[in-house]
Amino acid sequence: MYLRQGDTELFNPRLLWKKDKKHHDGCVGLECSPEGVAICHVEYGDEGHIVTACAFLPQTNDVPQAEQIARWLEQQGLTGLPCHYVLHPAEYELLLLDAPDVDESEVNDAVQWRVKDLISRPMQDVVVQSFQLPSDAYRGRMKMIYVAVVERSLIKNRLRLIREAGLRPHVIDITELALLNVARFLPEMSHQGVGLLRLRSSGGLMMLGHRGDMYFTRTVETGLQGFGSENGGLQLSTDAVVDNLSLEIQRSLDYYETQLGKGMVNRMYVLPLKRPIDSLLDDLNRLLPLPIIELDANHHLPLESGLEISKGDQAYCMACLGAALRRIDAPAG
């Protein structure tokens, strides 16, 4: 599931600029939040994708985000490239519904009728896109579908920002599927069950996948704000905080194994955190029955020789990296 040129009337091909031949191939990944801008460039080559640049640009009061982006693009010589924009998790709602019994080409239209009874906004004010779970999810007993609901005005604002920054809007992605693109570079993902855990300031996100597909995703209630501050870093305020987090993870692992019928998850990767939490990985490894390790873009993703992304930048940029690592002509999901 992602929006791209031609998927919605919000993308008007007449407004897209032609790329100058002097520009690099590939695309720019982008995610904007109140804290700043996550941005990266991925080059396309015969042997696959490669990340050539990545940065987090903290928000400033005197420089609009579009201008921040434009300056960075000019410095990197990337102005005019296609943009893969990933929506911040607070900017959309993700629903899990029974898949309608219609042809694949009619699924999105059929889903509109179900969604209108589940949201408080008029349907003309939102954009709805869907993607189906793999056919063997839930042991093949039922077909389920994830549906993303986004304010139409927000999409228009993001498209305007992309153009003002000097990029050509091409894909609008969601965090879950952007992170799935990251997970597809993990060696276990080709043959085992793999989990990703991303903790943000308030809450987080967990995704469980197998053989390159996403089978399960959920919001995690425990976020960085649940941990107390001490000596400039974050320390566990009480054992109950990490206990609650491990319980959330364990319940999801149990659901994945018993209800989805996918067996055990072999490894859980924790994405780099905005701020360190002492002993978190050690505590989770002690409480959970699978290896818990930190995902490192420098080790797990295809980076250009000599490029090294700091843990601080990774904490903000992992989703935009995943969005950019999606092939422009790749199938949804």
pLDDT in tens, 292-329: 999 999 999 999 999 999 999 999 999 999 999 986 54
Q: What percent of the chain has pLDDT over 70?
A: 87
Tell which residue, 156, 152, 203, has the closest CA to residue 175. Answer: 203
CB 320 within 8 A of CB 162: no
Report in angstroms the alpha-carbon separations of 104 from 55, 111, 149, 183, 301. Answer: 38, 11, 19, 26, 33
Determine the 3-state secondary structure of 296 from DSSP.
coil
| Residue 173 C-alpha from the chain's centroid | 7
* φ, ψ at 254 (rounded to 5°): -65, -45
CB count in 10 Å sphere of residue 1: 20
Q: Is the confidence at residue 194, as pLDDT, over 60?
A: yes
CB 322 within 8 A of CB 180: yes
- Region of poorest pLDDT, from 24-33, 50-59, 60-69, 103-112: 103-112
Amino acid present at 133? L
**Confidence at residue 192, expressed as pLDDT on a 0 to 100 scale:** 87
Rg, Å, the chain Cα set: 20
CB 168 within 8 A of CB 16: yes
| Residue 111 C-alpha from the chain's centroid | 22
